[in-house]
Amino acid sequence: MISANHRRAGTAGSGLGAAILVIVTVHVPARVTAQMAPDREGRELEAKRACLANRPEQGIDILAGLYTETNDPTYIYNQGRCFEQNGRAQEAANRFREYLRKTPNLPEDERAQVQVRVGELEQQARQSATPNVGAGARTVTATAGEAAAGEPTPPAMPPDGDTGTDAVRSRRLRLAGIVTGAVGVAALGGGLIMGWRAKSLSDEVTNDARNQMYARDKDESGQRAETLQWIGYGVGGAALIGGALLYYVGTPRQDASAPATTAALMPVLGPGLGGASLRVRF
């Protein structure tokens, strides 16, 4: 904040005004003049303290009183600084513009500096008055549309496709496909083992028959192994196919408008029958 005691007072008054000033100065006692300067400095410090303490109204009022008493435009300049320090850009710009009007003989370089400050403050004021762009702007547009139509606009729905729920569902389907495929591999392996056991028992029963011997338990075990062999083949093959389809269904699709595909793998067991049923719906 600039002290009024260190800034030029601006333009000189008329001849009559100058004469009155001389007369008043001559007749004012020296003791009274000496008392006025400290009082003015104290009020300037009080105004500066109020502006820095976020009490701009108090500081502006003190500066207005000083300007009224002295007619020194420096106090108008300090009002602009007080507003500027407290974030009131438009009011600060107005006071700086008034200061330029009151000081027509201000040096050009100083006038240019004040004009630059006025422009910056007015730009800040415009930015503060401009609504936020982006999500806020969409909200403002939607509100304007509601007012124009006379009825509320339904909230926007999230886009179809790769939303959070669909992503979780896709991961689960791919995981299910991998697990189902692993089960299919295990079932095929079990079928191969049962097939090897069934063949081994069949060879033993054949050799026993050549030696005119018959082992009923070997024959029954061989039949069970053969049944388990085909069950393993059926379940394993169906599980592999089902796992591949589940993984394919769980792969994220680029076309969000395509209908959802669901798949279900169900075991099929019965007397002399083993396998699985895969149902796919598009």
Question: Model confidence over 66-84: pLDDT tens digits?
Answer: 999 999 999 999 999 999 9
pTM for this model (two decimals): 0.38
Q: Can you give the residue ranges of every domain in the chain?
A: 4-128, 168-281
The backbone torsions φ and ψ at residue 216, rounded to the nearest 5 degrees and listed phi first, read -65, -40
Greater confidence, 130 or 182? 182
Greater confidence, 207 or 154? 207
Q: What angle do CA 127, 129, 135 make, to 5 degrees?
A: 85
Q: Where are the beta strands (DSSP E) in the chain?
A: 262-270, 273-281
What is 4-128's CATH topology?
1.25.40
Residues 6+ apart with CB under 8 A from 242: 177, 180, 184, 263, 265, 276, 278
pLDDT tens digits along 160-219: 444 567 778 888 888 888 999 899 899 889 989 988 888 888 888 888 777 877 777 878
* Amino acid sitting at position 66: L
148 pLDDT tier (thresholds 50, 70, 90): very low
Mean pLDDT of the chain: 75
